[in-house]
Chain A
Amino acid sequence: QKEVEQDPGPLSVPEGAIVSLNCTYSNSAFQYFMWYRQYSRKGPELLMYTYSSGNKEDGRFTAQVDKSSKYISLFIRDSQPSDSATYLCAMRGGSYIPTFGRGTSLIVHP
C-alpha cells in the first residue's frame, strides 16, 4: 500500500460545479498537509497549507483534513476552465520532506 493514495482521474466537470479532490494516507505521523496545482508544462504551485485536522478556506478553495479517517480533501467552488490542471496532495510529519500523491487531473469544460 502506498503511503499516499490519490485517484489520477481525469475528473471532468462542467463550469460552475463544485469539485471535490481527495487523498488518503496511511502514516498517522503526518500532521502538515498541502495541496498544489500544476498546469501543463509548469511547476507545482502551492494552493493550501494546513496543520492537523479541520478546515481552511481561501477564496473558492477549501481544504479539509480528517486525521481520524486519514483523509484530506480540496473543494473548489464555482469551478472555472482556468482551474483545469493536475492537483497534487502532499503531507509530512516532522521531516522537511513531504510525501506526494501522484496527482488528480481535473478538466473543467465550459
Chain B
Amino acid sequence: DVKVTQSSRYLVKRTGEKVFLECVQDMDHENMFWYRQDPGLGLRLIYFSYDVKMKEKGDIPEGYSVSREKKERFSLILESASTNQTSMYLCASSSKGQGAGQPQHFGDGTRLSIL
C-alpha cells in the first residue's frame, strides 16, 4: 500500500513565524502535491512537483514556498505565517505511470492553527 506520511497531525504557531510542513512518501512516486482544505472551499492546490528540485505553482501559491531536495520528501514552507493560513494541509503523491499517470494518494493531513 502507498503510504504518505505528514510529520505533524496538529500544529499551533504564531503570526509571523516561519512554518515547515513535511511530507514523505514511500512508493518512489515522481509527483508530489500540497493542498489546503477549508470548509465550503474544497481542496485547493498550493504547489506541486514533478521531479526532484522541480516545483510549479498551483492555484494559491501566495505566502507559501516548497522544497524538494529528495524524491520522497516534499516540504511546504509558510514564510511568515498569518491567521488566514489556518487550515487543513494535505500532501499527496502519484506515479507518472503510463500515459496520464496514476491517481493521487493522500496523507492524513496537518491541521495548522495560526494564532
Q: Mark B80-92, 1 if CB is under 8 A from A, else 0.
A: 0000000000100
B106 at the interface (CB under 8 A from A): yes
A110 at the interface (CB under 8 A from B): no
B74 at the interface (CB under 8 A from A): no
Asked whether A42 lies within 8 Å of B108 as measured between CB atoms, the reply is: yes
Q: Restricting to A41-83, which residues have a CB under 8 Å from any CB of B?
A: 41-46, 49
Asked whether B50 lies within 8 Å of A96 as measured between CB atoms, the reply is: yes
How many Å lie between the Cα of A7 and that of B43 in the bound state? Answer: 15
Task: Tell me whether A94 and B100 are in contact in the complex, defined as CB-CB below 8 angstroms, given that A41-B111, A43-B90 are known contacts.
Answer: yes
A31, A45, A46: residue with the most chain B Cβ atoms closer than 10 Å: A46
Chain A contact surface mostly: loop
- Looking at the complex, which one of B31, B48, B103, B111 makes contact with A49 (CB distance below 8 Å)? B103
- Tell me which residues across on chain B come within 8 A of A44, comparing CB atoms: 90, 106
How many Å lie between the Cα of A36 and that of B105 in the bound state? Answer: 10
Q: Restricting to A76-92, which residues have a CB under 8 Å from any CB of B?
A: 88, 90, 92
Range, interface on chain A:
20 to 34
Asked whether A46 lies within 8 Å of B109 as measured between CB atoms, the reply is: no
- Looking at the complex, which one of A41, A43, A49, A93 makes contact with B107 (CB distance below 8 Å)? A43
Asked whether B109 lies within 8 Å of A42 as measured between CB atoms, the reply is: yes
Asked whether A34 lies within 8 Å of B42 as measured between CB atoms, the reply is: no
User: Can you list 27 contacts pairing A with B, beta carbon distance less than 8 Å?
Assistant: A34-B103, A36-B106, A41-B111, A42-B108, A42-B109, A43-B4, A43-B106, A43-B109, A44-B90, A45-B106, A46-B103, A46-B105, A46-B106, A49-B102, A88-B43, A90-B104, A92-B100, A93-B100, A94-B100, A96-B96, A96-B101, A97-B33, A97-B45, A97-B58, A98-B103, A101-B42, A102-B41
* Interface residue ranges, B against A (CB under 8 Å): 4, 6, 31, 33, 40-43, 45, 48, 50, 58, 90, 94, 96, 100-109, 111
